[in-house]
Amino acid sequence: MDGPAETVAYVDVPDVLVPPEGGDVPFQLRLPAAQADAPRTLAWRAHADRTADGEVKAGDLVTTTTMPCDLFGTQELVLTVVPV
Protein backbone atom coordinates (compact mmCIF):
# COMPACT_ATOMS: atom_id res chain seq x y z
CA MET A 1 0.00 0.00 0.00
CA ASP A 2 1.31 3.43 -0.93
CA GLY A 3 1.64 6.20 1.60
CA PRO A 4 0.37 9.74 1.10
CA ALA A 5 1.64 11.56 -1.97
CA GLU A 6 4.47 14.02 -1.52
CA THR A 7 3.86 17.60 -2.70
CA VAL A 8 6.88 18.56 -4.81
CA ALA A 9 5.64 21.99 -5.96
CA TYR A 10 2.67 24.30 -5.52
CA VAL A 11 1.45 27.41 -7.31
CA ASP A 12 -1.50 29.70 -6.63
CA VAL A 13 -2.82 31.30 -9.82
CA PRO A 14 -5.15 34.16 -8.79
CA ASP A 15 -7.89 35.71 -10.92
CA VAL A 16 -8.24 32.88 -13.45
CA LEU A 17 -11.57 33.06 -15.25
CA VAL A 18 -13.05 29.58 -15.76
CA PRO A 19 -16.69 29.13 -16.80
CA PRO A 20 -19.00 27.30 -14.35
CA GLU A 21 -19.03 24.22 -16.61
CA GLY A 22 -15.23 23.98 -16.40
CA GLY A 23 -12.45 24.43 -18.91
CA ASP A 24 -8.69 24.61 -19.41
CA VAL A 25 -6.39 26.40 -16.98
CA PRO A 26 -2.90 27.17 -18.35
CA PHE A 27 -0.14 27.92 -15.86
CA GLN A 28 3.57 27.57 -15.18
CA LEU A 29 5.05 25.59 -12.33
CA ARG A 30 8.70 25.65 -11.30
CA LEU A 31 9.90 22.34 -9.91
CA PRO A 32 12.84 22.54 -7.51
CA ALA A 33 16.17 21.08 -8.67
CA ALA A 34 16.15 18.73 -5.68
CA GLN A 35 13.37 16.76 -7.38
CA ALA A 36 15.47 15.98 -10.46
CA ASP A 37 16.44 12.49 -9.34
CA ALA A 38 14.79 10.43 -12.11
CA PRO A 39 12.07 10.74 -14.76
CA ARG A 40 8.68 9.81 -13.40
CA THR A 41 5.00 10.44 -13.79
CA LEU A 42 3.44 12.92 -11.39
CA ALA A 43 -0.15 13.36 -10.31
CA TRP A 44 -1.37 16.91 -10.89
CA ARG A 45 -4.21 18.42 -8.88
CA ALA A 46 -6.03 21.66 -9.64
CA HIS A 47 -8.78 23.35 -7.61
CA ALA A 48 -10.67 26.40 -8.88
CA ASP A 49 -11.99 27.67 -5.55
CA ARG A 50 -15.20 29.53 -6.38
CA THR A 51 -15.94 30.32 -2.72
CA ALA A 52 -12.33 31.33 -1.87
CA ASP A 53 -12.41 29.34 1.36
CA GLY A 54 -9.65 26.84 0.52
CA GLU A 55 -11.98 23.85 0.71
CA VAL A 56 -13.40 21.75 -2.13
CA LYS A 57 -17.17 22.30 -2.14
CA ALA A 58 -20.11 21.97 -4.54
CA GLY A 59 -19.71 24.53 -7.32
CA ASP A 60 -15.90 24.47 -7.25
CA LEU A 61 -13.94 23.03 -10.17
CA VAL A 62 -11.31 20.30 -9.75
CA THR A 63 -9.10 17.88 -11.63
CA THR A 64 -6.63 15.18 -10.78
CA THR A 65 -4.60 13.71 -13.59
CA THR A 66 -1.26 12.05 -14.14
CA MET A 67 1.27 12.87 -16.83
CA PRO A 68 4.98 12.44 -17.39
CA CYS A 69 7.15 15.50 -16.99
CA ASP A 70 10.70 16.65 -16.58
CA LEU A 71 11.45 16.94 -12.91
CA PHE A 72 13.30 20.20 -12.96
CA GLY A 73 12.82 23.65 -14.37
CA THR A 74 9.64 25.40 -15.38
CA GLN A 75 6.75 23.29 -16.59
CA GLU A 76 4.16 24.73 -18.99
CA LEU A 77 0.91 22.97 -18.10
CA VAL A 78 -2.75 23.05 -19.04
CA LEU A 79 -5.18 21.22 -16.76
CA THR A 80 -8.88 20.82 -17.44
CA VAL A 81 -11.12 21.44 -14.44
CA VAL A 82 -14.67 20.11 -14.07
CA PRO A 83 -17.46 20.86 -11.57
CA VAL A 84 -17.51 19.04 -8.21
Global pTM value:
0.68
CA distance 25 to 12: 12
Quickly list DSSP for 18-70.
Answer: --TT-EEEEEEEEEPGGGTTS-EEEEEEEEE-TTSSSS--TT-EEEEEEEEE-
Rounded mean pLDDT, 70-83: 76
| DSSP-derived 3-state class of residue 33 | helix
Asked if pLDDT for residue 70 goes beyond 60, the answer is yes
Element holding 40 (H helix, E strand): strand 40-48
The whole-number pLDDT of residue 37 equals 58
Domain residue limits, the chain: 23-83
- Per residue in 10-50, pLDDT (tens digit) is 788 888 888 888 888 888 877 766 555 555 667 778 888 88
